[in-house]
Structure formats: C-alpha cells, structure tokens
Structure 1
C-alpha cells in the first residue's frame, strides 16, 4: 500500500530524466490564425520549461475562431515514454463547479431557484452546525464561497492512503453532514470569500432537490449535450478508469511518482468529479461567456458578484462559479481551474475570444513548478493578437 495521502484533493482553482518533446496537433492552417510562429515557439518553450521543473507532462490547447492548436511537452506515460496524447481525456477537478453553476443559473433564470433565498428553503434541516444556520446562508453565498462553511476535505476519514481512496465510495449528503456536525463555521455569511468545496457539494444537492434528478444527469442534459462535448462526462458509480485517449495521472510521493490514474471520485461529486479535455473545456467556457448557456442577466451576475478569495493566491476574484484571472498583460480573462489527484488544469477565455486550457498530468507541489505551469497559461493567453 502506498503512503500517498490525498487530503485537500480538490483545489481551486493548481522531469529531467525524460526527453522533452513538443508536438502540434493538426497543421499550421488548422492553428488559430492569431498565433504566429513566434507565439507558438514561445508557448513550446514555456511547456518545456514547466516539464524541466519535474512535471511528467504538460499540454496546452488554444482555441480561437473554432479551431484548436495543441502542443505538449514531457510524457503521458512515464513507464512507456508515450507522449501526452492529443485531445487528452483528463480529470478536471474544480472546473466541475463552473458546469454545475451554469446549470444552477439556468434554474435561476427559470424562477425555480432564487439566489438570495436561504438554503434552508431547498435543503431543510441540512445546513446546521456550530455557527452554521441554513436560514442565514443563501444560494448566492454558496456559489461565491461567502458562506463561511468549513471544508469537508478536512474530515479525518478523507485523510487516507491512495489505495483506500481508490475504492472508497462516498455520498455527498453524508460528507456534508459529517463536516457540518464536526467543524464550526469559519466566519459569518457574507463577511468574506473563502474557497470551500463544501459549498459546491451543497449547490449540487440544491440542484438535485429542485429538479428531482442527479446533478450529473442535469449537467449533462443542460450543458454537456447541447454543446456536443463528446469527451466530457461524470464517471458512473464504480467507473475508476479514464476513457481513451488519456495520459496517466501522477502524484509525487517521497521522491517517486505514483500512478493515480484509476480513482473513485465520488468524494468529489459536484465539487470536482468531472472528466473532460482541453478542447471541450475551451468550448464550454467560450459558449458560457458568449451567452449561449445562460441568459444575459444571469451571466452578468456570475461575473459581477466577485469577491477576492482569502485562502487562494492573490489575483483570483471569484464570482458565481466563474473566476476573473489575473494575467501579466491587459487581457481580461474569465475561467476557472482544477486540481485533483493526478491532474492540474488552468483555463480561461479572453474578451477577444481566445480560449486557453493548460493540463499537467502531475500536480505541482512547489512554487517553481506552480509558477512554470502558470507561465504556460500566461504565454498562450498574452500572445499577440
């Protein structure tokens, strides 16, 4: 049994011994026309620099004018040396929240859910605990992380070996009940914004209560299927494997890489269980920000109601399932990001319509790797257009 621990397994928003390889998908004519040869060279250089910090592999997908350009460095499988596959299917962690928030905002537009209604209206008796009162916490508080609710990932029973997590099934309602009954509120509702995955387990539970359907079914029907996202899905119960083509996902453990590709993600649920690709994520965020998934009023609320997250790096203002991301150029970027055992993703769309997703098949654990991965995203976003 490996000693790898998996506490704090859904985040917000984050090797020299292997040959550094870069590959472009398609031909130059298929690449976004705004990316020049020098732009693509700069992105490839950033990819190679990220892998040189110790990451197994990194891939970027840039989507513009409906066309994708993909470049990768490192490997998708450290044993075989296979490259990071194009159109790689990966676990996208907290990007799930943006999909769930989109489905919820459709319900808001229909008048089925009120953002400023107390959670108690939809989940009577559920949101209770020390300093916790569902009559004072609104749906908006949950969606923008201003509820003050504790982090369910801090539960001792989730601080287990990877081999246990692999096959341990969890129920969202049970995780919420245990978290709220054993940990106090961090602050009064609305006092500040603190990222807590508990919020989105509850958003998913509200969605299920008012529709009568599982959150995975509602998100699939309302978001995934209308956009034709063929590689995006919630794993079914007992589905531990990723669909092909996929890289292996790795976690560092005592100087070694542990393959954590197979995983039961029922503990992540509406907070982070989704599987997708860079191309599908780009199409989702592009459609969302273009007003193709929610009404203008609801999209404006998702972007207007932003708060700086006090427990995340500076430069992330969180709205209702969307985050405004700081980049080193004058581009305005909205997106999200995700971290889950084996994978780290960062994604966003500029005001001019360039969508960028960066995927690593090993989560960075030090500032150097984290900065290098961010630099790949910044380079692709800020390339001349």
Structure 2
C-alpha cells in the first residue's frame, strides 16, 4: 500500500504526539540498557501516538551496538479478548515486502539472469511503453505506470477482504489508466511496479515469488517468523489488525484478509526480531554484491515526498535512515537502519489511519536516540 509520509505533516504530528496526554502501556519484553531517560522518551512517544490515533497496540524495538537495546510491547493485540500485545507477535508488514522483492531482483542481476537497464517488453508486453520501461524504473518507481491501489480500490478491498486477486488483474487495473509521466522523466510511488517485478521474477525462475523469497532470504537469515501467507489467515502468533469502522470511536477487526490484492507490493508478515535482522542485512547489503548494493542506494527524489525522503531500488531514505515503511488496512509499520551507527529501529502498529503517524513515531525515536543526527524535522 502507498507510503503516506508527507513533509507537511511531520512537524505538526510530532508536536502533537509530544504534547498529547500519555496512556498506559503493557511491557511484555524490555531490555533496559539504553538509559532510563531515552527509554522514558520512547515510551512517551509511543503512548502519546496511541492516544492521538486511537491505536490498540504497538511494538517497538531499538538496537544500537555499543549502546544498548530496547524492546517493548504496548496495549492490546486483540480487543475482544483483551490479549496483550507481545514483542513476538507477527503483523502484516505491507510495503516493507518491497525490500524483499527488490533484493531477489538484485540477486538475479548478480546472477546475470537479468539486467537493471533491460526493458520489460519480453516479460510484460501488455504494459504500455514496455519497450522502454526498464527493470530499474520499476524498482525506483520512475516507470510512470499508474498505481492500481487508488482510493476506490482500497475501499473495494476493505469491503470485500476475502476476495482473491490474480497479479494479471492488478496489472490490468494499473494500465487501465493513463501513465503518470513518460518513463524515466520523473518518479511517483506505484504498487503496480512491484506486481510487475513479482511476475518477472516468476517468469525468470520458473518458481513462485513466495518460494524465491523463502529460499533466498528467509531461510539464509533464519527469519523463522517471516512468511508470505496464502489465503486470508495469518500463521504463528500474531496481532489482530484494526481500522476505523465508520462509527465514531469504534474499530473494525480486519485481520482476516486475502493479501493477493497486495502480493509483491505488500503481502508479507513478520515480527519484531525478524525485522531487526532484516533491517541490518538490508542496510549492509549482505545478500547481494557490493556493486548491487551501490546500485540499490542510488537515491531518486519523489515530488510526493517533498524534501523529506528519497527512494532507491526498493528502499526508502529519510535523512541518514534507510529502510521502508508499510501501511495496509489493519497494520502500519516502519523499519529503519542507520549505517553510521549500525543501529536498527522497528515500530509496528496494529492499526492504520490515513496519516502515517508510524513515521513520526519512528523518526521521533531516532531523534531521541541520536540527537546529533540530522533528521527532517
């Protein structure tokens, strides 16, 4: 789903969460080694964000080599039963999925089975301008292809969450509208790009995208709580996900959802510890060559991000932080890595609103941890 980060909201929302009244938290796993002052500031940011946006549950993890770590769960994983949030709970990670898909694509380039600058015509000739759109342009959202996940589509998904979608249907939706701009002339975040990449991976390998991610990333890194679930049900120990019901103050449980509608653009699940491992591997380029990591970290500005963020090959950059965020009905997530400190920050919500306050919370945590690091607020 689209990243909701907007420069105009950063300062306003950060001020709001810092000034709002705090709410209670449930500590299910803490490692009090960052210092009580920093931990108290993290708690304040999270509790006030929960109060500000009516978020049922939050999971936070911070890991700073040589300084310490902090893992904590707040609130409820299941409103109906009152089950408390646990740091081990899985959530839907939405667009963080793109970091896995992009890594598989870069591995295929390393294996000389694909080239970043080859066009996609042989794989997806039905896409307009396929003869000039490149793999690189799909990865960094400069293809110009329209994003099928517009507001009307998201409303349809929320109304019929168990519907199964085929990738071909999603591509058809994306190309049913005129392109945003000529390929390579600008950039605009489009989930259609990653549906296309998933289909290309499957054509090249002859395997399901889910299996390629499992064999190339999940198993080598021992990500035992990361999955690409089939059908509407999550596996393992998981948190329920919630969205506004349309009735004032009430939340709708939207945990059961067939994620085929988001697939390669955002269909995966994971948990706190696995995302910590993945943030570090992604930031260090562990599963690809140095040449491919250099390509991954070539940044392109996006008009929709203003001066706040830029995008590489399946990776987001905000100030010195690199990683990705995700937002789907029921869940909101942020995963960042700070290369100069080799530090990781992960924030997971079991609620998603129209304003991506998870970004504000994670950036606020970054500011609390590293006051000397320049962040865009």
Bin the TM-score by the shorter chain. Answer: 0.7 to 0.9
Aligned pairs, number: 355
**Aligned-pair CA distance for 1:150:** 0.4
Q: Which residue in the other structure is 1:172 paired with?
A: 167
**Aligned-pair CA distance for 1:73:** 2.5
Task: Note if 1:243 corresponds to 2:231.
Answer: no
User: For the aligned residues, what is the CA RMSD?
Assistant: 2.6
**Aligned-pair CA distance for 1:70:** 1.1
Task: Note if 1:52 corresponds to 2:46.
Answer: no
Q: How far, CA to CA, are the matches of 1:18 and 1:261 in structure 2?
A: 27
Task: Note if 1:232 corresponds to 2:223.
Answer: no
Q: How far, CA to CA, are the matches of 2:29 and 2:48 in structure 1?
A: 20
**Aligned-pair CA distance for 1:370:** 5.7
Deviates more, 1:242-251 or 1:99-108: 242-251
Alignment of 1:1-385 (within 5 A): 10-12=1-3, 20-23=24-27, 25-28=29-32, 31=33, 35-53=34-52, 54-65=54-65, 69-123=70-124, 125-128=125-128, 133-154=129-150, 159-160=155-156, 162-165=158-161, 167-180=162-175, 182-236=176-230, 238=231, 240-254=232-246, 255=248, 256-304=250-298, 306-312=299-305, 314-326=307-319, 332-351=320-339, 352-366=341-355, 369=357, 373-379=361-367, 381-382=369-370
- Listed one character per residue, the Cα deviations across residues 21-78 of structure 1 (whole Å, up to 9, x for unaligned) are 14151544xx5xxx22211111111111111112222221123449863123332222
Q: Which residue in the other structure is 1:5 paired with?
A: none
* TM-score of the superposed pair, with normalisation by structure 1: 0.85
Q: How far, CA to CA, are the matches of 2:111 and 2:170 in structure 1?
A: 29
Q: Is the 8 A contact 1:122 1:209 kept in 2?
A: yes
**Aligned-pair CA distance for 1:136:** 1.0
Go from structure 1 to structure 2 and tell me whether the alpha carbon gap of 1:375 and 1:324 turns closer, same or farther (over 3 Å shift). Answer: closer
Q: Is the 8 A contact 2:228 2:269 kept in 1?
A: yes
Unaligned runs of 5+ in 2: 6-19
Go from structure 1 to structure 2 and tell me whether the alpha carbon gap of 1:362 and 1:232 turns closer, same or farther (over 3 Å shift). Answer: same
Q: Is the 8 A contact 1:354 1:381 kept in 2?
A: no
Q: Is the 8 A contact 2:87 2:272 kept in 1?
A: no
**Aligned-pair CA distance for 1:375:** 4.9
Unaligned runs of 5+ in 1: 1-9, 327-331
Deviates more, 1:65-74 or 1:47-56: 65-74
Aligned partner of residue 339 in structure 1, secondary structure: strand
* TM-score of the superposed pair, with normalisation by structure 2: 0.87
Go from structure 1 to structure 2 and tell me whether the alpha carbon gap of 1:381 and 1:172 turns closer, same or farther (over 3 Å shift). Answer: farther
Q: Which residue in the other structure is 2:16 paired with?
A: none
